Structure 1
Amino acid sequence: MTPTRWTTPVGVALVTAVVGFALVGPLEMLGLTLTRLPWTAVAAVLLLAVVVLVLGWPVRRWNRGHRDRPLDPLRAARTAVLGQASALAGAALLGWYLGQVVHLLPDVAYPLPRQSVVALLVAAGAAALLLVAGLVVERWCRLPDDEDEDPPAGAASSR
């Protein structure tokens, strides 16, 4: 598995922000409005970020030399995939919420849009925390470099 480059979450966030911004206007013109963002959505995203960090912690400890218990390689691989998926989901949510914020900014002087903007910014902050937690856990799951290991047979030398 290749580590997530910083450009991938940024690209996902930008694309979903554009999609979010582009969809809100036509939906409002059709008479449909997005429902108010419940606080449970923010709580769920924050809980997910904490769960990702908790699941990644044993892998981090094992990589740092605390090997009092064996680490199942499949668990470590699944944790790395969970970190990557969490980072991408956090980026998508971040873009979605920020796209809606940009759409609502012209009306922020009115109370209802202002409340929605505040709720969306809080949700965007929670999504950013999920993004960071996913990237951190993915980094924790990297295997340390084996410096004293010989290169595999047939591998090109670096001379």
Structure 2
Amino acid sequence: MPDDLLEFVSGPPGYSAVWLWLGLALILAVIIWYAAVFVATLPSHRLRTIPAVRNLHARVLRHRFTRTVRRITDSHRRGELSDTAAGAALARTLRSFLHQATGRRAQYMQLRTVADGELAAAAPVLSALGDAQFNRASATDVDQLGEQTEELIRSWP
């Protein structure tokens, strides 16, 4: 090995090669950090198009919204939310999840439009949540609807 290359790899006399490798590792860590922050702050519609990130994004979304549904259901069970408020919160959470997961603006779609399109699997749950939210005489079990909403989000493709 030429002396110049040997000196570059091992460092100048009196310096350990560990410092070179440590510096390179720190530079690599900073690059990875910036890339992670860049990807984490991309909007959902962009994340759904990146093949390497698509599956991770879907798992994170499912986990985040499942946790939110569980919190709403637990609040209802403790009596902190009425049936109407819990139904509204669950419907809002499910519609937000559908928007983030598919890009369809489910928050603004009528139930008939949801049932006729690619979100049809969510229509029965949204219908029951609407009944719990708007029909005070409804005998709908909101805790069971919370479990159904959680299962729908967990199993969404």
Question: TM-score w.r.t. structure 2 length?
Answer: 0.30
Task: Say which one has the larger Rg.
Answer: 2
Question: TM-score w.r.t. structure 1 length?
Answer: 0.30
More helix by share: 2
